[in-house]
Amino acid sequence: MKKIFALFLFLSVSKFIFAASTINFGIIGDQTGSNNITQSYNVLQNAVALLNKKPLAVILHVGDLIESTENIDEIKKRYSSAISILNMLHAPWFLTAGDHDVSPTMFEQNSSDRSREKLFQSLYSTQNPNVVNNLYYSFNINGYHFIALYSEEHLDTDPRWGNLFFAHISNTQFDWLKKDLETNKCASGIIVFMHQPLWYNAAYWQKIHALLKQYPVRAVIAGHFHYSQDDGILDGIHYFVVGATGANNKEASANAGGVQQIMLVTINQDNVHIELLPIDSPATLKLTSRENMDKVEAVDQMLSNFYNFSEINPLYIKNNKLVNSCTDDKKAVVKFTSIGNPLPETLELTVVNLSNDKINLLNTHFAPDVCEHQSGTACILKPSARVAIANNSCITVYDQGLLPLWQTTVELNNTAKQKPLTADYLNLKVTFKFTDNKKIFSLYKTLINKIQKCT
């Protein structure tokens, strides 16, 4: 009987220990930068409702709650609105400041203007006294230790799009981190979260990682990119990025960053389990690898080359005919110039005419040197076709002296000709797709070109 009781006691205690070493928490991504902050907060409200359905010990917000470049009264109003939403969470929540929370009104790399940083700190300190002295801090939940690093000490800098050499924490914050880790080395696990993924500055981050791996750090988490990404496991530490929860995201498939989302994380003695929950869908998503998201980012950067599409393809209506200039009677031609394939593999390009109720595309064709296979509006672009420089932040395309990548003649169809056109638009949807392990990653852009009237 004593042996049975001892076994029962052992199993009961073991179960308790295992339960105590498991934690479930949620993560909220950025609300700003956004073209519509009111809509961003609507997404945040839906995210809170979704998180409240889950049994979570704590919620982490990775920053960009407000837009610091607005006027001070508007900032305070936005902050109050956002906090009222977050305070509806059933679990305690903590935030690390993002660039849109603290950046000054005038952009300057490594700016010395700390006015908006101080404003945000004063606002958030009423919610979280831990940030009265510094925007980096730590706390404990259910035996786990959480560290909120402040990634914005060098204002208006960025580990991808800005001056990489400023993308690191100060010596003061580093010294604090060392002491904090040592003080909490007996925690069941340690979770580090920040806004910008400073590990993109790999040369500097080496010393941070060398420090973290000496302690029971299980995960390092960031936001800022507006898409979710798995950066892998290094020395037992899982690095990953959470996507937007209201901020602008990509015109893309869900696995390529085209979804508003929250993240659920479960950590126990054995692993770190991550789920992505779209705000407006019951589906569960998996993190996309850094390798594929770097490719997505390269394609997205290349799509930004369409910024002057209307300027290089002006359209006018003259005598009920489309032309490129009011001084010319030739049929209008539309072309793609500074576009190519930034990837080391094939990339599918498809063009769809969204204005085919009024406008026809005729004689569509691609340049002879770019496609492995092609039809009038579809092309399998050769690896690196027309691209000189490609990474996840910058694309340079060869276009000088070359035929346009794609070209078409545009004319009014018979229906449109029956009723003289005074003003309308040419709408083209351009989609790029690549595949990895049978998963399709797609990005698209809608090109809108206003048709002007000749006077």
Half-sphere exposure of residue 341, counting CA atoms within 13 Å on the CB side? 23
Please give the model's pTM, rounded to 2 decimal places: 0.89
H helix or E strand, kind and range, residue 82? helix 72-86
**pLDDT for residue 128 is more than 70:** yes
Q: What is the identity of the amino acid at 210?
A: A
Which residues lie closer than 8 Å to 396 by C-beta, 6 or more apart? 387, 388, 389, 390
Lowest average pLDDT, out of 21-35, 309-323, 430-444, goes to: 309-323
pLDDT of residue 4: 41
What confidence tier does 2 reach under pLDDT thresholds 50, 70, 90?
A: very low
All domains in the chain, ordered by first residue: 22-288 (3.60.21.10), 299-453 (2.60.40)
What are the angstrom distances between the C-alpha of 30 and each of 132, 233, 244, 341, 412? 23, 24, 5, 30, 44
pLDDT of residue 161: 87
What confidence tier does 15 reach under pLDDT thresholds 50, 70, 90?
A: very low
Q: What is the rounded distance in angstroms from the CA atom of residue 6 to the CA atom of residue 57?
A: 32
The arithmetic mean of pLDDT across residues 298-315, rounded, is: 94
Which residues lie closer than 8 Å to 291 by C-beta, 6 or more apart? none
- Provide the β-strand partners of residue 361: 410
The arithmetic mean of pLDDT across residues 398-426, rounded, is: 78
One DSSP character per residue, 15-74 reads HHHHHHT-EEEEEE----S-S-HHHHHHHHHHHHHHHTTS--SEEEE-S--S-TTS-HHH
* Chain mean pLDDT for the chain: 91
Lowest average pLDDT, out of 11-15, 124-128, 261-265, goes to: 11-15
Most confident option among 17-21, 123-127, 355-359 = 123-127
The arithmetic mean of pLDDT across residues 180-191, rounded, is: 97
**Total residues found in the chain within this entry:** 455
* Residue 190, token pair as written in the block: 């340690």
Share of the chain above pLDDT 70, in %: 94
Half-sphere exposure of residue 59, counting CA atoms within 13 Å on the CB side? 23
pLDDT tens profile 221-277: 999 999 999 999 999 999 999 999 999 999 999 999 999 999 999 999 889 999 999
pLDDT of residue 422: 52
Share of the chain above pLDDT 90, in %: 81
Q: What is the identity of the amino acid at 41?
A: Y
**pLDDT for residue 421 is more than 70:** no
Nearest Cα to Cα of residue 221 among 65, 42, 98, 404 = 98
Which three-class secondary structure state does DSSP give residue 429?
Answer: strand
Taking every pair of Cα atoms in the chain, the longest distance, rounded to a whole number of angstroms, is: 103
Q: What is the rounded distance in angstroms from the CA atom of residue 114 to the CA atom of residue 106?
A: 11
**pLDDT for residue 17 is more than 90:** no
